[in-house]
Structure 1
């Protein structure tokens, strides 16, 4: 009988070698497939991702990379499987103004031998592109990250990682309440993708201008790189806690953007950087 794979996983027949013994067993592998993000018919990027919750991935990527400013610019999103079964495309319809911005960024990337940084062509432009976290209004006070709350979320995170539990091969990003309760979590083979899926899920469930999800923090099962801090700041999320270390540039950007940042967040310990 064929094994019905959970979304995001593929079955595999393996040989387990333990203490000199070898045994054949069934196992699971995390899926990794090419995913194309297509805006108004124009392919913008192809990334490797776990093919699950791809609508959230696409929306989160568009927001966290500044391709659209808010969901007001989004007209529709549809996920399509490739005819040969390998890969997916996500078709996003955006406003004419947003599409012009996307095309302008694409033109800046043409003819380059390197990948660049999202269409940025100089160090000065790189610095000018640093995002700032959304500021709370006069009636909204965002509390500082609480170590006990972060550790509470760290302890709870494995319960929100079914793909990781079966495959051991993916990252997670979670949205947590100020008290450390995990409210949302998304998984993917890529840490950036997991965060984009979370950002997309929050945006689609809580569209602007209500933004009830800004009181809390993001917890990621990875290091805190410049890109992870940048994505959180652009999405208006006020705090990021990472299981592993931050980079030096991530700490600089966190200070610049006003985003709270913690690293080495594990049961019994955490390090505050910003």
Structure 2
């Protein structure tokens, strides 16, 4: 979602100035609450700044990547209720009573909290239920190189604003399956994972045999979210952090950074990629 503003444009070091309309991505808070199916008790669990769209997917994805829910069977129908624009409640199934203390994030630590990488990675391992599976055959490097252009072709809000993140889901042949955008890179990924979970009919949800492409850098938190979903290959247009690489390596995830213009840095998991460039074959 975008909003139009009238701005005073200055160009050519002040030689030109004029009024023009400008499009900006909307940023508003979303309060996420959960309602226990057995008791009807309602608990507010998080407030995040997001682009107001796909709120149900965002909330469901957030709960999944935090290790609170595991499949669509944990949710009641209707999945959510949104009585106000910036508040949403996710309804749990009657027989599902998770430990909401997990949402205090005592078991997750970010790269800004001052603890060591080893502790952060071990914390994720304690709650991650989905192993990263080996692929039947490696993904061709040309397939990896094709992903950014496919993302750009579909990232309409970024084209209008230049200020929004995207997470895209591809199959191992490079076909774009889904895409979500948000002002927050972690929200874009939660929306994407939440959308896939809500479509899933499996009792144990995972994104095995899928590739995730991030429109910006790859932070520890984004690798953590993908690890929770069992994603085997993560690609990013920008750089990863050191803890992101260590996390991906520990989980057996292939992490690709600086993916643009036919170039890429493979930080770990190179065994999942076939480096033979088929376009150069005779």
Question: Would you say same fold, with TM above 0.5?
Answer: yes
CA RMSD of aligned residues (A): 2.8
The answer to whether the Cα contact below 8 Å between 1:67 and 1:98 also exists between their aligned partners in 2 is no
Residue 11 of structure 1 is aligned with which of 4, 24, 38? 4
Aligned to 1:77: 79
| 1:33 is aligned to 2:33 | no
Cα deviation, residue 80, structure 1: 2.4
Decide whether aligned partners of structure 1 residues 10 and 143 sit closer, same or farther in structure 2, where only a CA change above 3 A counts: farther
| 1:134 is aligned to 2:131 | yes
Decide whether aligned partners of structure 1 residues 209 and 95 sit closer, same or farther in structure 2, where only a CA change above 3 A counts: closer
Could you state the TM-score of these two structures normalised by the residue count of structure 2? 0.80
How do 1:81-230 residues align onto structure 2 when only pairs under 5 Å count? Answer: 82=84, 88-95=86-93, 98-102=96-100, 104-105=101-102, 117=109, 126-131=120-125, 133-136=130-133, 141-209=135-203, 213-230=207-224
The answer to whether the Cα contact below 8 Å between 2:72 and 2:203 also exists between their aligned partners in 1 is no
Worse overlay, 37-46 or 13-22 = 13-22
Matched positions, count: 252
Which 5+ residue runs of structure 2 have no aligned equivalent?
36-41, 269-282
Cα deviation, residue 198, structure 1: 0.7
Decide whether aligned partners of structure 1 residues 195 and 108 sit closer, same or farther in structure 2, where only a CA change above 3 A counts: closer
Cα deviation, residue 212, structure 1: 8.5
Could you state the TM-score of these two structures normalised by the residue count of structure 1? 0.82
Deviations 1:70-123 (A, max 9, x none): 2221114335263xxxx6111101246754411x335786xxxxxx739x9x87
The answer to whether the Cα contact below 8 Å between 2:23 and 2:161 also exists between their aligned partners in 1 is yes
The answer to whether the Cα contact below 8 Å between 2:121 and 2:247 also exists between their aligned partners in 1 is no
Deviations 1:128-177 (A, max 9, x none): 322455344xxx84543432112101112111111111111100000012
Decide whether aligned partners of structure 1 residues 97 and 134 sit closer, same or farther in structure 2, where only a CA change above 3 A counts: farther
Aligned to 1:45: 46
Which 5+ residue runs of structure 1 have no aligned equivalent?
1-7, 110-115
The answer to whether the Cα contact below 8 Å between 1:176 and 1:216 also exists between their aligned partners in 2 is yes
- SS of the equivalent of 2:99 reads helix
